[in-house]
Structure 1
């Protein structure tokens, strides 16, 4: 939907509202603050009203106090995942070696690196576009991102050294992916959303492999849903981890925390 001329804040709000954007005023403010020219702002509004996620339109997402680059086609970090970061910092406040699997844009790794000054940070994802994005977001802290399937992507020298392991795994059951909002379903990679038949296929693989990479006393944290939490806890205990669940009602966030004895 083309933006009517002249390009005024009220015109942008009207265009966004007509396209179904619930927070049209806030989005208009972000677009105007990000765009360098009126033409660029108009292009952003056109892309947003065509259904692209706001973060892909802006080229960035706010996450845990940081502005994280988010390239088109890369999974957008959710606000609820900030709870995972908080729980990770509480579980391992002195972690010297951090690994983030299924890293997407690298938002978790960047947030942890920012909070854990001097930590060695590594991230991995199977999606090449995500890895390119993560490398940009981790560059400032000296972090590294690798392309590959979970632990297969990591340098062997990390085995037994990881104090903090995070994994915002895909956990949407395959049959429920078509029910996701169009912004996610149409513009984010399926590999970042589809967690298999019950949504826990990747989580189980992460949990099973964790003891070979964690240092003694090291922690693994991953996000899941309320419905899946009991099975996710079992996957952690089956892997030999001492497991518990942390919940944020405000963010509707559920994080499974496992510690290697």
Structure 2
């Protein structure tokens, strides 16, 4: 890896004037990425125009990895690293002899799946997204890891052989209420697809659909991890409980992140309930 480039005052000034809060860090990254003065100028012009830094660079840093990010694809947020942390902890605590089956649902660029493969692999990893651009981007990040990427609405494109076999499902589904999309930063509402942001009237529409179908796909004792907001978390727990999944909330103040864990009954508990 090349050493981090020295920030240039003139570039920092241009970026800061455009409203870039972390102008010094961005300047260094743009200088490092460019292979010529002309390319650097083009990159800076894109950033000053409002294009997200990750789309300008073509990658986002996530859990210590460089994740390829194509234009019009959701940029992985740092808060989602907490979802990965909780998921990796569950996977690393498993004692089963077989390789765990993991699904990165609403995968976007595939960042969550890629990070889990790095932190808790080897995995039988599957990722799915309804957006064609996201699925294509996820393939760039995940196929080299031996994962399968599926394009379609939620569970629809998953192979039937996964039904009842998924040990962990990590979900970063859209959870922003529809009426709040207009209040989001321009980098999100102008450059990321609405389908990756809009969670319906109360932000929980996708969570309801996922919770309703997830028990059919989870293995006995399997887990569903959903990123949500601190405000929405109690309702998310109720949604999971209403579909037979015990739920609990985990939060990180440092990352301003909230994750709800839903757990399926174990095989023994299922037999006792018959």
TM-score (norm 1): 0.95
Distance, in Å, in 2 between the alignment partners of 1:122 and 1:38 is: 41
Question: Could you list the per-position Cα deviations for residues 38-92 of structure 1 after superposition, in whole angstroms to 9, with x for gaps in the alignment?
Answer: 2111111000000000000000000011100000000000000000000111223
RMSD value over aligned CA atoms? Answer: 1.0
User: Are 2:208 and 1:209 aligned?
Assistant: no
Within the candidate set 150, 157, 160, 1:153 is matched to 157
Query: How many residues are matched?
Result: 254
Partner of 1:49: 48
Within the candidate set 168, 192, 199, 2:203 is matched to 199
Structure 2 gaps, min length 5: 1-6, 266-274
Question: Could you list the per-position Cα deviations for residues 121-164 of structure 1 after superposition, in whole angstroms to 9, with x for gaps in the alignment?
Answer: 00000000000000000022111111100000101111111111
Partner of 1:89: 88
* CA deviation after TM superposition for structure 1 residue 36, in Å: 1.8
Distance, in Å, in 1 between the alignment partners of 2:121 and 2:185 is: 37
Partner of 1:249: 253
Matches within 5 A, 1:107-256: 107-256=111-260
Question: CA contact under 8 A between 2:62 and 2:81: conserved in structure 1?
Answer: yes
Task: Look up the SS of the partner of 1:46 in the other structure.
Answer: helix
Task: Look up the SS of the partner of 1:152 in the other structure.
Answer: coil
Instruction: Point out 4+ residue stretches in structure 1 off by more than 4 angstroms.
Output: none
* CA deviation after TM superposition for structure 1 residue 188, in Å: 0.2
Question: CA contact under 8 A between 1:104 and 1:134: conserved in structure 2?
Answer: yes
* CA deviation after TM superposition for structure 1 residue 207, in Å: 1.1
Partner of 1:67: 66
* CA deviation after TM superposition for structure 1 residue 12, in Å: 1.0
Distance, in Å, in 2 between the alignment partners of 1:136 and 1:191 is: 20
Structure 1 gaps, min length 5: 1-7
* CA deviation after TM superposition for structure 1 residue 96, in Å: 1.1
* CA deviation after TM superposition for structure 1 residue 105, in Å: 0.3
Distance, in Å, in 2 between the alignment partners of 1:225 and 1:96 is: 28
Task: Look up the SS of the partner of 2:155 in the other structure.
Answer: helix
Distance, in Å, in 1 between the alignment partners of 2:36 and 2:160 is: 47
Partner of 1:4: none
